[in-house]
Amino acid sequence: MATSDLPSPPVAEVRPSSFTRHGITVQDPYAWLRDRKYPEVDDAGVLAYLNAENAYFEAAMAPHDALVETLFEELKGRVKKDDASVPQKDGDYEYWWAFQEGAQYRTWYRRPVGTEQSDVLLDEPALAAGKDYFRIGMFSVSPDGKLLAYASDDNGSERYTLHIKNLETGELLPDRIENVFNIVWAADSAGFIYTIADENWRSKVVLHHELGGGDPREIYRESDPEFSVGIGLSQSRSWAILSTGTNTTSEVRLLPAADFTAAPMLVSARDEGREYDLDERDGTLFIRVNDTHPNFRLVTAPAATPGEWSELIAGSDDHYLRSVTSFRDILVIEERIGGLSHIRLRDYDGGGETRVRFPEASYDASLGNNPEYAQTKLRIDYESMVTPDTVYDYDLASGALEVLKVQEIPSGYDADNYVTERLTATARDGTKVPLSIVYRKDFPKDGSRPVHLYAYGAYGYAVPPGFSSARLSLLDRGYGFAIAHVRGGDDLGYEWYLDGKLKKRTNTFNDFIDVARHLVKEGYTSEGRIAASGGSAGGELMGAVINQAPELFGAVAAHVPFVDVLNTMLDDTLPLTPGEWQEWGNPIEDAEAFKLLLSYSPYDQVSAQDYPPLLITAGLNDPRVTYWEPAKWAARLRATKTDDNILLLKTNMGAGHGGKSGRFDSLREKAEEQAFFLTQIKTGE
């Protein structure tokens, strides 16, 4: 992929532009790439530049079409063409989805319990026919089993349209609602509550809709620009849960599912920096809250007097409480200990606790689909870096784990050919940062092999040590694959998240670089032979680390990267910005936050130095990371960097934050990334 063999890359016009805030002037010569009519994008100059970059991407990849096709076929060969989920009982029916042979999208089914006669609930392939993009965002059957509410998006903008389908006749009801985020059915199936995206793609209001009725009735409206509203249902299905909050503060109201005309009941008023969520059983609330310990504690309260809290489980430095689900007969607590997932079961009568035991030392496990209140078995999802996705049923009476399904790799897979390790790197401030790595047994630790290093590192989202059949194509060609469990995620507890945000954000970048250097030091790879990737906030991470230590990386893929950090956080008209100030800081009002964001914003910190080969992706309809962020970054990099390494920008002109929607279309994009890595960093075999 030598640049000398390619046509000249696109050169974006430099249009002098700057702004001054807090006494600091910032140059922004590519600000024009933001179409002023956004979310409509029809500026001829903007489209011409994006199309020119796409044409350059195609030209650069054309000599490697055979490799991309080989990788694509390998990836497809590991996907079961007629894959299906394990049926799960919910009331009088069992529900599941399945892919027809070669289909890009799922078909959803159900059957009466005890029968084999199945009915199609929703035919996604038919709905997606003729569309470049299609995604189902919400799928909910009414309590009486007669109606299906589903929401779809056909351009990647994540503005979903709600439809109600009569499951007895197959017809759609006239009740069609635009811009829906989520719904909760009333207990009598006569209507539902829902949230919508406003013109700025923010969820601020909860509305009550009666089927066949008139205008919706407003139940709750949030006035704070930094707060958004979400809705859910308790496991008992007795209460609709109305949650409003930011990344650091939450407030919950309860609404009886049997009476959506009732006034919502406040559980506890918002308190800055306090987060809580809850479930309900038999008139008792089980509330997970971080008021006394960052790793949360568990308290109870009567539903009738929800402010009267009694501690059930104290906060702990070792046990990070991540969720609580109150089934009829057992309280299930999902937690993380030492960075690994655990599932704790607790009797309501105080008779004791137990933990689900899993077969490996390093793994990821979580509750799966458990829709009913009275579960005698718990559906659990399990995987590790060498064990494919596994679905278990855990028998509450016997404690036995029953394997229901193991992800099938049709082209073949032998776990004995691979080794996984949990390592620890020492960051520059002395913090011990864990990393998970997998490689073939014949992988030499002499520094000769490349390693693909991945991380996310934001919003308290941990990247678990899970399985991916796609990464086998790199492993089988001599690569290692590693996950850096950097600060900013909550891998080692909530404090781990807090230590990678706001004023401590640079810890995330430093951790990633120090993990990379640890891999070099220990002989897993060598400098310049690390392929790095990350998306969204992980794309910001990619931008920051190549500004700081470009020599470490032989190729970098930044997907829908959040790289124009300062400009985005200064623009409170953008959909997500006000709600993001709790994560990144508010540079509009806070001069120190402004200086900090400017100091690491990848777009603003591009400098005249050598950069590794870069693959950058974007989505024209992306509402989360707007297309102009990666476009501006690519333009500035091209004009500033001092090397001749390849730089590719690919914009999906009909997709959003997640890239292409079809299961095989998305695999082709993965094949392109792997081909990019393989052509830039050869294995040396």
Same domain, yes or no: 259 and 196:
yes
Q: Quote the DSSP letter at residue 497.
A: H
Q: List residues with catalytic annotation.
A: 536, 622, 657
118 inside domain: no
Q: What is the DSSP string of 551-567?
A: GGEEEEEEES----HHH
Instruction: Choose among 413, 418, 469, 463: nearest CA to 443.
Output: 418
Q: Dihedrals φ, ψ of 25, to 5°?
A: -100, 130
Cα distances from 241 to residues 181, 252, 334, in angstroms, run 15, 7, 20
Same domain, yes or no: 573 and 674:
yes
The Cα–Cα gap between 584 and 566 comes to 9
Quickly tell me which residue has 């830039």 as its tokens: 680
For residues 674 and 474, is the Cβ–Cβ distance under 8 A? Answer: yes
Same domain, yes or no: 454 and 596:
yes
Start-end of H helices in 536-662: 537-548, 565-570, 577-584, 591-600, 628-640
558 inside domain: yes
What pLDDT score was predicted for residue 660?
A: 54
The Cα–Cα gap between 533 and 518 comes to 17
Q: What's the per-residue H, E or C state across 218-262? A: EEEECCCCCCEEEEEECCCCCEEEEEEECCCCEEEEEEECCCCCC
102 inside domain: no
Instruction: Choose among 153, 24, 9, 42: nearest CA to 641.
Output: 9
459 inside domain: yes
Same domain, yes or no: 169 and 236:
yes
What pLDDT score was predicted for residue 2?
A: 57
Q: Exposed e or buried b for every residue in 357-373, given b needs 16+ CB within 10 A? A: ebeeebbbbebbebeee
- The angle that helices 663-680 and 44-61 make with each other, rounded to 10 degrees, is 70
Domain boundary among the residues 225, 242, 273 is at: 273
Same domain, yes or no: 139 and 71:
no
380 inside domain: no
Quickly tell me which residue has 């030499």 as its tokens: 444
Q: What is the CATH number of the domain that holds 233?
A: 2.130.10.120
Q: Which residues of the chain have pLDDT under 50?
A: 685
Same domain, yes or no: 449 and 579:
yes
Sheet with 276-281: strands ordered across? 276-281, 284-289, 297-302, 310-313
Same domain, yes or no: 49 and 197:
no
In the chain, the N- to C-terminal Cα span, in Å, equals 19
Same domain, yes or no: 504 and 646:
yes
What pLDDT score was predicted for residue 685?
A: 47
395 inside domain: no
Q: Exposed e or buried b for every residue in 392-411, given b needs 16+ CB within 10 A? A: bbbebeeeebeebeebebee
Per DSSP bridges, beta strands 276-281 and 297-302 are unpaired
620 inside domain: yes
Domain boundary among the residues 273, 303, 321 is at: 273
Per DSSP bridges, beta strands 614-619 and 647-652 are parallel
Q: Name beta bridge partners: 426.
A: 432
Same domain, yes or no: 154 and 9:
no
For 263-282, write each residue's pLDDT tens digit: 999 999 999 999 999 999 99
For 557-613, write each residue's pLDDT tens digit: 999 999 999 999 999 988 778 889 999 999 999 999 999 999 999 999 999 999 999
Q: What is the CATH number of the domain that holds 591?
A: 3.40.50.1820
Q: Name beta bridge partners: 434.
A: 424
89 inside domain: no
Cβ contacts of residue 147 below 8 Å, gap of 6+?
A: 141, 164, 165, 166, 167, 173, 189, 211
SS3 351: coil
SS3 386: coil
Same domain, yes or no: 645 and 523:
yes
Q: How many domains are there within the chain?
A: 2
Same domain, yes or no: 472 and 551:
yes
Same domain, yes or no: 522 and 598:
yes
Domain boundary among the residues 273, 299, 331 is at: 273
Q: Dihedrals φ, ψ of 678, to 5°?
A: -65, -30
Q: How many residues are listed for the chain in this entry?
A: 685
Identify whether 371 is preceded by a cis peptide bond (ω within 30 of 0). no
SS3 631: helix
- The residue range of the domain holding 153 is 131-273
Other CB atoms within a 10 A radius of the CB of residue 498 amount to 16
The Cα–Cα gap between 97 and 125 comes to 12
SS3 73: helix
Q: What's the per-residue H, E or C state across 279-308? A: EEECCEEEEEECCCCCCCEEEEEECCCCCC
Q: Dihedrals φ, ψ of 623, to 5°?
A: -90, -10
